[in-house]
């Protein structure tokens, strides 16, 4: 199992930021990336296809039971929570929405902390509710890294502003700088 994992959550206005995060990462980015974006259950996979076409890393929907590997970004499929099971494999379910959201950012972030503890790098993006704030707190308390999109660079600043108020010492980064920030962080750690 990998030693670190990146979990990304976003809602309103996060599509362009997710593209900006993933597109500059090199094909040999060593850490798996799990992405939850709030979307309608009927959403088409245009965003995923577009990111795949501009990204050097592999981009795909998560498959139940799959073990995440570096150089790959795994997206929650519409209307499914994405979690990590105790063995570090991907798990999908259709449990009740949390904060009116399925997939839920808090579900992903909490399950990542349960498996990876201080080795989680959490990224919270633009959004119009507070899903993800509890997850960022749990990452922070476990000693993981917390990266929050600058509210000034967010389409909707409710989610990042709430996380900044709740987390002890987050890194606050403009949306378009998060990808390079992750790459620098990986080089610094490894």
Supply the residues annotated as catalytic: 11, 38, 131
Residue 138 near residue 114, CB atoms below 8 Å: no
**Among all chains, which residue has been given the structure tokens 């990042």?**
160
Closest to 167 in 3D by CA, of 130, 115, 112: 130
E strands in the chain:
5-10, 33-37, 58-61, 72-75, 81-84, 90-93, 120-124, 145-149, 171-173
What's 105's DSSP letter? H
Which residue, 1, 14, 20, is CA-closest to 128?
A: 14
- Tokens describing residue 120: 């989680």
> CA 66, 67, 72, 76 torsion: positive or negative?
positive
Give the residue among 185, 161, 177 at the shortest CA–CA distance from 17: 177
């Amino acid at each position: 199992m990998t030693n670190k994992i990146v979990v990304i959550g976003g809602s309103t206005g996060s599509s362009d930021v997710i593209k900006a995060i993933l597109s500059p990462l090199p094909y040999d980015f060593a850490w798996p990336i799990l992405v939850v974006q709030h979307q309608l259950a009927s959403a088409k996979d245009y965003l995923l296809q577009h990111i795949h076409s501009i990204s050097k890393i592999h981009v795909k929907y998560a498959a139940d039971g799959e073990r995440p590997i570096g150089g790959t970004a795994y997206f929650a499929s519409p209307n499914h929570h994405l979690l990590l099971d105790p063995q570090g494999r991907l798990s999908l379910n259709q449990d009740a929405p949390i904060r009116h959201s399925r997939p839920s950012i808090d579900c992903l972030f909490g399950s990542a902390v349960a498996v990876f503890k201080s080795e989680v790098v959490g990224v919270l993006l633009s959004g119009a509710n507070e899903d993800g704030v509890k997850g960022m707190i749990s990452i922070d308390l476990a000693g993981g890294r917390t990266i929050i999109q600058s509210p000034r660079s967010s389409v909707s600043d409710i989610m990042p502003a709430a996380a900044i108020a709740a987390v002890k010492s987050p890194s606050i980064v403009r949306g378009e700088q998060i990808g390079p920030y992750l790459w620098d962080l990986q080089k610094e750690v490894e």
